[in-house]
Amino acid sequence: MLWTRARVVLLGIAIFLTVTSTAVLHANQYEFIVMRFPDVGIAGSSLYDTMLYSAYLVVGFSTGVLQHKTGHRRAFLVIGGGGASVCFLVLPALQSFPVLLCFRFLQGSFTVMAWQAISTMVLDLSCAEDRGVNLGIFGIFLGSGMGVGSMLGGAMAEAGLAVPYYFASGFSAGVFLVGMLGVRGVRACAARPRLRDSLSVLRRHPRLAAPAVFNFVDRLHMGFIVFMVPMLLATLGLDEGLRGMLIGIQTIPMLLMQYPVGKWSDRHGRLRPLVVGSTCYGTTLILLGGLFSTSFPAIAVGMVVLGVFSGLTTAPANALVGDVIPHEANAMGMASFNLAGNIGIVVGPLLGGFVAGYFGFGAAFMIAGLIELVSLAVNLVVLRDIHEATSLCMTSISC
């Protein structure tokens, strides 16, 4: 158990570096895109993040298929970390917006390759008794990367437009080194299933739709928040440091809640934290859009509240994947889970940019909140079925 937990922590360090490398770029995105390419505008600038998340969508799922087919994890971690490191160095030098978008897609492809490999390895190391705990630890490192990266990115951006990209390259190089030197002995399934069997995982395990829907909405809001909040604050005249700090503030309560919520869900089930967290998150987004979107103090308080409710859902939703699929299907189960999330994260910036561009920031936040509430209502039927099934077997399943 101790050796397993140590490997989970090492993989947590890898996901921390992976997430930090992307989070440091958000604070000065207004200057990096809108001011360098003034014809692009707010709505057009959303394509920069959309290309990143489109790579997550396409390459993330493809990586899962290949992992499931070959049984390998570590090679994807090494290639992803090294490739992303090179791309981050190239991005600031590009002077054409279409070319910049192409390299953004390439960078996202390498980043998600590493991310997918890390997520699958954590699931490989987990079983029914400690899945929530391990995913909680994983979530702590992931949330730390988002928070630390956003805050560091704001400070770095004040030192120079390209400085966050150089640091992102260094963080990705760290992921490469973890893959080369640190990750050993993570077991994968021995079977080498056919591609057709790999792609039919959702048909064979339909309850996987429940965590997939949660991840779709969670990632939609992740993409929405990291794109919309810096843009909103830039229009209010706040500098890069304050923008990065505000994004980072959201992750603090989410970070603190990962482990205890994951452990609680191992003992009492995933249903209650998912329902409470989703309901309150959606309601807060609606209030933030309807009442507070032009007040910096209110936005800051709203971001902290969003972090609290996000902390209720992240670890249970991830652990739910392992609850509904057999161990040998971990790679494809996590790939399908991340596929849904990556569709969401592509939609998030596009939704925010389009609605804010035509109807204002307040309307964008309100629509994002309504999506959360509607998706929860649709998901409740499947979620209750999973809750009953996992509650019956929770005391009888062991590693």
Domains contained in the chain, CATH given: 2-182+201-393 (1.20.1250.20)
Q: Provide the whole-model pTM.
A: 0.71
Q: What is the pLDDT of residue 380?
A: 78
The overall average pLDDT reported for the chain is: 80
Greater confidence (258 vs 96) lies with: 96
pLDDT band at 383 (very low <50, low <70, confident <90, very high): low
Residue 238, class by beta-carbon neighbours within 10 Å (0-12 exposed, 13-18 middle, 19+ buried)?
middle
Greater confidence (271 vs 166) lies with: 166
Residues ≥6 apart with Cβ < 8 Å to 196 = none
Average pLDDT over every residue of 390-399? 44
In the predicted model, is pLDDT for residue 308 greater than 80? yes
| Weakest-pLDDT range from 39-53, 107-121, 128-142 | 128-142
Q: How many residues does the chain have?
A: 399
Q: How many CA atoms lie within 13 A of 179 on its CB side?
A: 27
- The answer to whether 69 and 384 have CB atoms below 8 angstroms apart is no
Q: What is the pLDDT of residue 111?
A: 94
pLDDT band at 190 (very low <50, low <70, confident <90, very high): very low
What is the C-alpha R_g of the chain? Answer: 20
Q: What is the pLDDT of residue 194?
A: 52
pLDDT tens for each residue of 1-29: 555 677 888 888 999 999 999 989 988 88
In the predicted model, is pLDDT for residue 387 greater than 60? no
In the predicted model, is pLDDT for residue 55 greater than 80? yes
- Distances in Å between the Cα of 397 and the Cα atoms of 129, 235, 266, 330, 378 are 7, 53, 12, 17, 29
Pairwise CA distance, residues 325 & 310, whole Å: 24
Give CA torsion, residues 345, 350, 352, 355, to 10 deg. Answer: -150
pLDDT tens for each residue of 135-171: 777 778 887 887 788 888 888 988 889 999 999 999 9
Average pLDDT over every residue of 166-187? 84
Q: Which of 338, 145, 334 is closest to 254 using CA atoms?
A: 145
Q: What is the pLDDT of residue 47?
A: 86
In the predicted model, is pLDDT for residue 399 greater than 50? no
